[in-house]
Every structure is written in C-alpha cells, then in structure tokens.
Amino acid sequence: MPARRLDRSAPGFEAEFAELIGAKRAAEADVDGAVAEILAAVRERGDAALLHYTERFDRFETDVAGLRIPAAGIAHARAAVPEPQRSALEHAARRIRAYHERQLPENWSFTDAAGYRLGLRWTAVEAVGIYVPGGTAAYPSSVLMNAIPARVAGVERLVMVTPTPDGAVNDLVLAAADIAGVDEIYRIGGAQAVAALAFGTEGVRPVDKIVGPGNAYVASAKKQVFGIVGIDMIAGPSEILVVSDRRSDPEWIAADLLSQAEHDTAAQAILITDSPAFADRVSAAVERHLETLPRAAIARESWEKLGAIVVVDSLHAAVPLIDRIAPEHLELAMDGADALAASVRHAGAIFIGRHVPEAIGDYIGGPNHVLPTSRTARFASGLGVLDFMKRTSTIGGDAAALRAVGPDAVTLATAEGLDAHALSVGIRLAESEPPNDG
C-alpha cells in the first residue's frame, strides 16, 4: 500500500494536511507511576536498588563495584573495535568537535552612561550525565553527539550510563565514549539510571544535567527529575521532510525517506515535490528499496501509515507548509536550495543540495544530530555547546552610579510595596551624597 498522496490544489487539501501533521505518532505509555516508584526506591536505597533493578530488567547479577566499567575494560573495548570502525568514529569526532568549538560564546561587559559596569559571563555546567540506550538500540554516534559538545563547553565531569542486557557490553559504544572523553561509565539503564544520576547513590555521584535518548521509562524519569537536575529535551519519533524537484534521482530520494522510516514504526517521512510524475517515480523506488532493506518491515509500516507525498504547484510556495510541519530533518534536493533554505523559519536541521542526505548529519557532518521532534522546532533547537553552559550577569558600580539610578529604584520598589528593597537602596543614597562645598 503506497503512502498517502496530497495535492495542494485539491479542495480538501487543508483538512488532509492538518490531519497529516496533527496525527499522533506514538502511543504514550502510562509508565509514570511505575517510574515514580523506581525513582523513590533508588533515592531511598541507593546502590541496593540499582543492583535489584539491574538483575530484574537487564538479567544479570553484579556487585556495586561491577556497576562501573573500569578503565582497562574501556581500553579493551576500544582495541576490540575493527580499525575501519574505530577510524570512522575518530573522524566523526574530529568533525563534530570542530563544528561545536565555533559555538563557544564570549564574555562581554560595558560601562553605561550612569557609570555601572554591566556584563555577561559564561560558565560550564559542572557535571553532566549521558544516557545511552543499550542492546539492539545502541548508537555510538549518539555518544559522540552528546559528549563532545559538553566537553567543548568545559564540563569537568562526564558520566555515561548504559544498560548491558544479559551482561553484554557494546564495544562500539565504549570506544565512542573513550574517544569523546567520557570520565565514568556505569552499566545501569532505565529509570533507575536516571535516578542515580539525579539523586546520587553510594557509588554514583549525582550530576547537574542529564541528556540522551531513551525509552518511555527513561523519558518519564527525565521529566520527573527535572528541577532537581536539568535535562535536554523529551524526544519523539524521528522524522524527515524532503523537498525535491524532478531533477533529483528518485532512487536517492526514496532512500532518504526510508532512512528515517527504518528507525521506528512511529517515524514519519514526507516528500514535497512540484512534479506528479516525479512523485510516482519516488513511490515506485520506495517499493524497490523495501524489497532489499533488512529493516523493511519497520520502514514499510512507517511509510504506509504515516508517510506522505505532497504535490505543490511551486516548491517556493511550499515554505508555509514546511514551517507548519517544523520538521526535525529538512532536505532540500532542488535547484535554488540555498534561497529556499533562507526562507524557512522552523526546522531542526536543514540539508542543502542533492548530495547532502540526512544520514551525513547523523554521523559525520559536524552539526548535532540531537534535534527537536514533533513540531517542537517551532520553539526549540538542536543540542549544542550552549546547552552545557550557563549565563551569569554582572553589575558593578560606585556611589556616583548609584546616585544616577537609585532614586528610580526606590520609586519602583515603593510602588510594589517592597519597603526593604527601597530601604536597601535609599540607605546607601543617604550616605553617598556628594560633599557640599558651599
């Protein structure tokens, strides 16, 4: 069954398009209660609870010392990774680091007309926890994307938690952590790992911020500990919007659509084109690719249930549609891609040109692949260096500066009924009057 087809000029287009972008793509698991119990248990019983949940959910027994992977184990894992994969990870790390180093902000200050020295300085979060899924959903690229910006920001302590189901350790994940400069790695997962990072246990010191993807239990745990620690975002299913003219190779575009559809049956892939004939060719190419892809069953369900091809009269007229979708990934495989990209307001990441498939951004392009999903690109950005830094404002001045602005501060404080505020300024004004030479 092909993906749905929408025509911008058809009478019912608006209703169909609204249904497309408003469709609920992932069932919300009711796990909040179970997660709250796990969080409370770890907070109260510390390592004992971690060991209990590790045996229960990951099916292996260990002691407290066995929860942390030692340096020798990490070095062994890195050495065990085949050289081509290790080299690719190192290449990706260099590119990701170089891109994120350009995001480092500068401190600044100036002296205003009143004589106050006003400034802004940036400092890094002190300790960050990175959650990395385990088992079949282990992605070393995500380790690089989460850890490297934190290290570039100046985070002093990087802690990684990752489940090891049945005791199996993923060498690629450990190698990526070593390359990225992670300081501590623990074999714990799920809500209990988030609890350990947020509250601390006898063996795991707490952190200040938690980042990284996870299942419904991890997402719920991150939401419940927010405020005790910071979090990055609550990510939804992956998505891609490809805008292409008829000059693109339909096989390429079909592969790009399926590159996200294969993630998850709740992922969404959409094509916008100005050529009905090209739309037909891409649809046929999708079917050909699905005959050979190992994850074809997942990709097919995603494509047939949630995928779509939208035909418009002009690609430049598609900008309002792009902004309404606010896609996580936006590919512009078309003539005039740069001009169209400049007109787009809402997108997590934009891939400009026919030779920039989204997968380049997933692994080795340089920009971060941790991006806002589910239309949150309307108000959110991808993960970056600033997510691991804090702004602190500074104000410095003397008695003359106080005399220049203080009276109005007293007026405003009095108007708000905060007399001690007014007093704290007024008492200084009374003692800082310039000498009367008369």
**Is 329 annotated in the active site?**
yes
The span from the CA of 164 to the CA of 62, in Å, is: 12
The span from the CA of 240 to the CA of 218, in Å, is: 24
Residues pairing with 210 in the sheet:
129, 231
The span from the CA of 51 to the CA of 48, in Å, is: 5
Tokens of 352: 């400009």
Residues pairing with 226 in the sheet:
229
Q: Residue 417's CB: how many other CB atoms inside 10 A?
A: 8
The span from the CA of 195 to the CA of 199, in Å, is: 6
Tokens of 332: 């512009």
**Is 37 annotated in the active site?**
no
Task: Pick the catalytic residue from 289, 329, 346, 369.
Answer: 329
Residues contacting 105, CB < 8 A, separation 6+? 122, 385, 386, 389
Q: What DSSP line would sit under 273-285, residue for residue?
A: ES-HHHHHHHHHH
Q: For 213-244, b where at least 16 C-beta lie within 10 A, e where not — what string?
A: bbebbbbbbbebbeeebbbbbbbbbbbbbbbb
Q: How far is CA 322 from the centre of its chain?
A: 20
Say if CB 146 and CB 156 are below 8 A apart.
Answer: no
Say if CB 328 and CB 239 are below 8 A apart.
Answer: yes
Residues contacting 188, CB < 8 A, separation 6+? 50, 53, 54, 67, 161, 162, 163, 196, 204
Tokens of 358: 């989204």
Which residue, 145, 149, 178, is CA-closest to 70?
Answer: 178
Task: Pick the catalytic residue from 184, 239, 328, 358.
Answer: 328
Determine whether 200 is exposed, middle or buried from the number of CB atoms within 10 Å of its CB (0-12, 13-18, 19+). middle
Residues pairing with 123 in the sheet:
390
Which residue, 294, 307, 309, is CA-closest to 261?
Answer: 307
Q: Which active-site residues does the annotation give?
A: 328-329
